Amino acid sequence: MGSVQLIRYVAECRRKARPCRISAGLVFSVIWSLRESDKALHTNLFNKHVISRFLTRRYRNLIKENRQVFEDFQARNELCCDYEKALRSTYLREMNEAYVIPMFSYHHEPMQQSHSPCENVGELTIPVIAVNAVDDPFCPADAIPEDVAEANPNLILVTTRRGGHIGFMQGLFPFRKTYMDRVLSQFLTGVLEHDCLSSSSSSSSSSLSLGEESHAFLLGDCELENHALLT
């Protein structure tokens, strides 16, 4: 959910005309549409009965470990979620309705969708690279906002054929650096070389841009347009 918060923060800075304290962003496995993510996790049988059930079980275990905290909040009438219903959840959709949505004040579906990155990415005013895998079970490929990337010079979308969700492993024995590690290293080097961090302390706008020159240093030897598919 970090990418959701980052993109929303930058967009709100522009809407409210306040300084953005982030100079540039790199996000992986963005869940571009919360609505489409929920649909993908519960219409595909593997996603529903393996991924959704597994993650829901992890949620339940966390709630059980902190049950006393929930009961204390409930005793003070300050509990905003239904933790008993959450403990009975089998799938992520049920857990979201009982726990995640009320905890984050997503009280109805339109508000939940309005927090989706696809609704805010057009407001980006700083350079952002977003990397998604086509086989990401949380983000179907048709939810990736290619049209927005083409219209906003501050955004580059990179999609890979494989990578899953926060995976991007490489090699027969994938125990060393991943594709994410490589891209992150090149991205930070590029940001520092362009003196982006120091300039942001004295100006509300970033001096770093995603022009033709920056594409090469940000992703190695890959010359990218605003959207690229890497094999």
> Distance from CA of residue 124 to its chain's centroid?
14
Contact between 145 and 226 (Cβ < 8 Å): no
- 157, 159, 164, 149: which is closest to 40 by C-alpha? 164
Residue 145 has which token pair?
A: 């906002």
DSSP state of 49: I
At 2, is the pLDDT very low, low, confident or very high (cuts 50, 70, 90)?
confident
**Number of residues assigned to the chain:** 231
Distance CA 48, CA 42 (A): 5
pLDDT of residue 65: 93
Contact between 31 and 138 (Cβ < 8 Å): yes
- Please give the sequence-ordered ranges of beta strands (E in DSSP) within 79-165, or none if there are none: 128-133, 155-160
CB atoms within 10 A of CB 147: 10
Rounded to a whole number of angstroms, the distance between the first and last alpha carbons of the chain is 26
Q: Residue type at 46?
A: F
Distance CA 31, CA 224 (A): 22
CB atoms within 10 A of CB 18: 10
pLDDT of residue 203: 43
- Please give the sequence-ordered ranges of beta strands (E in DSSP) within 127-191, or none if there are none: 128-133, 155-160
pLDDT of residue 41: 93
pLDDT in tens, 11-47: 989 989 999 888 889 999 999 998 899 999 999 999 9
Dihedral angle at the C-alpha atoms of 123, 126, 129, 132, nearest 10 degrees?
-30
pLDDT in tens, 167-200: 898 877 777 888 898 888 888 888 887 764 455 5
pTM of the model: 0.77
Distance CA 48, CA 20 (A): 38
pLDDT of residue 199: 54
